[in-house]
Amino acid sequence: MENLWVLWALTSAFSLATSDALIKKALFTHDEYVIAWLRPLLALPFLAVWLLFIPIPTLDSTFFVASLIALPLEIMAIIFYIKALKISPLSLTLPFLSLTPVFLIVIPYLILGEKVSLTGAIGVLLIAFGGYTLHIKKVKKGILAPLVAIKEEKGSLFMIIVALIYSITSALGKLAIEHSSPIFFGVVYSTTLVIIFTPIALYKSREGLKTMFHSGAVKASILPGMFYSVVVISHMIAVSLTKVAYMVSVKRLSILIGVVYGYIFFKESDILERLTGASLMLAGFVLIVFF
């Protein structure tokens, strides 16, 4: 199927939004570093099973270079991501991930030689405008008021940084996939990520890790870990089948799902205001992918 990647990308979107909502709930009572470490850790058993069904590819220097550059960036993204989810509303932080395709106009071209069409660029502008209108009520104070609001909202700033980092790691990830295989890279990359992040989590939250079994942090992270394993596999397969910018754009449908989750489960306010911005982003996604 020519558009099989869309199904994989949608699977990744749904799984990511669900995992994030579960993580948000866990962060109400548990340390962010413990949860940030447990989610990918508990995803590993579900990821490892996939290795039983695939051949081990021959690896070259490009695979290792791309992976080694991406890994520390990914660690930074995890820390900023979890902090953003903890200190700001889910429906306000997640939409800023839509900025990733904006960065992906340039970065995959530099790393992979991938170009987006003029129509795709228009779609990206819709995405950017959708992010801008997240603070639409504040426009009455001036056209630059939303930008000022973003500056004052630390969670939004953190998520913008995450969006930039993810645009780089997505391109590097595809490069590594091209020199290995989607599932193999997903499992190995995730495992290495957990190994590197473990001493950081131990340093940042020694007390939290000591009590994680008694406090219920492990139990609270099992479901997020399961969904996160689906995110990893579906992301890797989807990005191997199409251009990075297109795949990530569809994956950002997790934004709309996250906004709905925020309203239903966390009673977050101004849902219509934020859905308007997220819907503009969705229009950009559709334009990029289908036209």
What does the DSSP assignment read for 102-154? HHTTTHHHHHT-----HHHHHHHHHHHHHHHGGGGGGGGG-TTHHHHHHHH-H
- Among 90-94, 176-180, 218-222, top mean pLDDT goes to 176-180
Q: Which residue's entry shows tokens 């995992």?
A: 19
Rounded to two decimals, the pTM is 0.85
What does the alpha-carbon distance between residue 9 and residue 21 come to, in Å, rounded to a whole number? 18
Whether residue 84 is predicted with pLDDT greater than 70 in this model: the reply is: yes
What does pLDDT average to over the chain?
Answer: 85
Tell me the pLDDT band of 134, cut-offs 50, 70 and 90: low
Residues 247-261: what's their mean pLDDT? 83
- pLDDT at 217 (0 to 100): 86
- pLDDT at 205 (0 to 100): 75
Residues 23-32: what's their mean pLDDT? 83
Residues 24-29: what's their mean pLDDT? 84
- pLDDT at 99 (0 to 100): 80
Residues 125-149: what's their mean pLDDT? 64
Whether residue 267 is predicted with pLDDT greater than 80 in this model: the reply is: no
- pLDDT at 124 (0 to 100): 77
* Of the listed ranges 50-59, 172-181, 268-277, the one predicted with least confidence: 268-277
Q: Where are the alpha helices (DSSP H) in the chain?
A: 4-27, 32-48, 61-87, 90-93, 100-103, 107-111, 118-132, 145-152, 154-178, 182-204, 206-210, 212-215, 217-241, 244-251, 254-266, 271-290
- Among 20-34, 235-249, 250-264, top mean pLDDT goes to 235-249
Alpha-carbon Rg for the chain, nearest whole angstrom, is: 18
Identify the burial level of 291 via C-beta atoms within 10 angstroms of its C-beta, where 0-12 means exposed, 13-18 middle and 19 or more buried.
exposed
Tell me the pLDDT band of 223, cut-offs 50, 70 and 90: very high
Tell me the pLDDT band of 36, cut-offs 50, 70 and 90: confident
What does the alpha-carbon distance between residue 42 and residue 112 come to, in Å, rounded to a whole number? 32
Whether residue 25 is predicted with pLDDT greater than 70 in this model: the reply is: yes
Tell me the pLDDT band of 135, cut-offs 50, 70 and 90: low
Tell me the pLDDT band of 61, cut-offs 50, 70 and 90: very high
270: Cβ–Cβ under 8 A, 6 or more apart, which residues?
A: 137
- pLDDT at 32 (0 to 100): 80
286: Cβ–Cβ under 8 A, 6 or more apart, which residues?
A: 123
Whether residue 108 is predicted with pLDDT greater than 80 in this model: the reply is: yes
